[in-house]
Amino acid sequence: MDSSYTSNSTKPLYRGTQIVWYILGLLEILLMFRFLLKLTGANPGAGFTSFIYGVTYVFTAPFLSVFHITKIAGSIFEWTTILAMLVYGLVAWGIVKLLFMGKTVSTPEAAEKMNEEE
């Protein structure tokens, strides 16, 4: 068996990537609820709707002035939520790639990867 798969750093690395993907999954679900509630013109005073808007506001706030809001007959197509979902997905991907950089590799494996990048 290759020693890079049996390293002491493999299990924490695996757990770290699981945590990142889990957090991203929860965030994406909450943002999708926000998007769908806005799109369907849900009552912002309703408990569930208010909860979703409140929880997700902090994640959409940095993107609120990027696009204009598109309103059609009481429905809101919130481009900022779509942008937030995309950006947070890319950030999670980047974090996972960064975690994998900490993976222990053997010298032959490193040499092979370097040759592939030339």
Give domain status of residue 1, yes or no: no
Say if 51 falls within a structural domain: yes
Q: What does pLDDT average to over the chain?
A: 88
Q: Say if 85 falls within a structural domain.
A: yes
48 part of a folded domain: yes
CA distance 35 to 32: 5
Predicted local distance difference test score (pLDDT) of residue 7: 60
pLDDT band of 55, cuts 50, 70, 90? very high
Q: Work out how many domains the chain is built from and give that number.
A: 1
pTM of the model: 0.79
* Non-local CB neighbours of 15 within 8 Å, separated by 6+ positions: none
Report whether pLDDT(49) > 50.
yes
Q: Quick one: pLDDT at residue 23? A: 97
Residue 87 placed within a domain: yes
* Averaged pLDDT, 72-93: 94
Averaged over 78-97, what is the pLDDT? Answer: 96
Contacts of 35 (CB under 8 A, 6+ apart): 78, 81, 82, 85
**What percent of the chain clears pLDDT 70, i.e. is strictly above it?**
92
> Residue 19's domain spans which residues?
8-117
Regarding predicted confidence, which is higher, 25 or 67? Answer: 25
The pLDDT, as a whole number, for residue 104 is 76
